[in-house]
Amino acid sequence: MRLIDLTVLLDPANREKLPPALQHAAGVVAPRIDYNNPAEAAGKDEFCASLGCTHADLPDGEGWGSEQLNDFNSHCGTHVDAPLHSGSQCEGKPARTIDQIDLNELYRPGMVLDLRPWAVGGEYIMPDMIDRAIAAVGRPVQPGDAVLLRTGQEAFTMDDPQFYNQPGMSAESTLHLTAMGATILGTDAVGWDLPFRLMNAKWQEQGDKRLLWDGHKAITQREAFIVQQLCNLAALPPTGFHVGFFPIKLAGCSAAPSRVVAFVPD
């Protein structure tokens, strides 16, 4: 059994790579981290304050390592969206929060849909593209599957404008997958939907408010868990593996940063 990490690194340095117009969203990229190194004054001071000793009393001349995490969002990095993220109601019932999702629902058979031949940055991923990618895998989506979309966005870094011009899932395409029985919907893109600026432009042009965040809003009709900012999908076979999506257990929250791991048989 091989374990493949599908989780992006939460590196505070990436916050500075965001364009000025997106600096307000830095909390979804990484936290600010104050590092207390055991060999430095901050690590020693915290140790001494906790144990009531002085630097002269430190057993090996060092304190301890600790970090203070600041200014980050429940949707930081690779994360699992609970249904509450899409709306207060899901399938006519109160939408579940991240702590209400059982881990058994988050350990699922995986399937990678390689959409790169058809997906175009800044445009919708259409149902027929999904069908062609499924046909290439050689088996249908089965109830309870975790369907992972390989859009090609992993090729771009955060300082590349194309990183923020992802292909997006529409309501129609999202419901196409959930109707097949997929319960986890993952992507290597920074977002599940079209980029916000493009959604706004479509709404302004057509006057149809249903175009605003329609991929996510589709979850209110059919429950599923959206997972964004995956990586290493190229290391996975198309099918024949399981994926564990392990979110931090945050009370009452609409999402949580998660360690996502694929379990691939040898």
Question: How far is the C-alpha of 81 from the C-alpha of 109, rounded, in Å?
Answer: 18
Task: HSE, CB side, 13 Å, CA atoms: give it for residue 44.
Answer: 12
E-strand spans in the chain?
2-5, 32-36, 66-70, 79-81, 89-90, 93-94, 107-114, 124-125, 146-150, 168-169, 184-187, 225-228, 239-247, 255-264
Helices first, then strands: H and E counts in the chain: 5, 14
Tell me what pLDDT residue 171 has: 98
Residue-wise pLDDT tens for the chain (266 aa)? 999 999 999 999 999 999 999 999 999 999 999 999 999 999 999 999 999 999 999 999 999 999 999 999 999 999 999 999 999 999 999 999 999 999 999 999 999 999 999 999 999 999 999 999 999 999 999 999 999 999 999 999 999 999 999 999 999 999 999 999 999 999 999 999 999 999 999 999 999 999 999 999 999 999 999 999 999 999 999 999 999 999 999 999 999 999 999 999 99
Cβ(119)–Cβ(194) under 8 Å? no
Tokens of 46: 């915290």
Tell me what pLDDT residue 245 has: 99
Tokens of 189: 């893109």
| Count of Cβ atoms closer than 10 Å to residue 62 Cβ | 15
Tokens of 133: 């990618």
207 residue type, one letter: G
User: Which DSSP category does 264 fall into?
Assistant: E
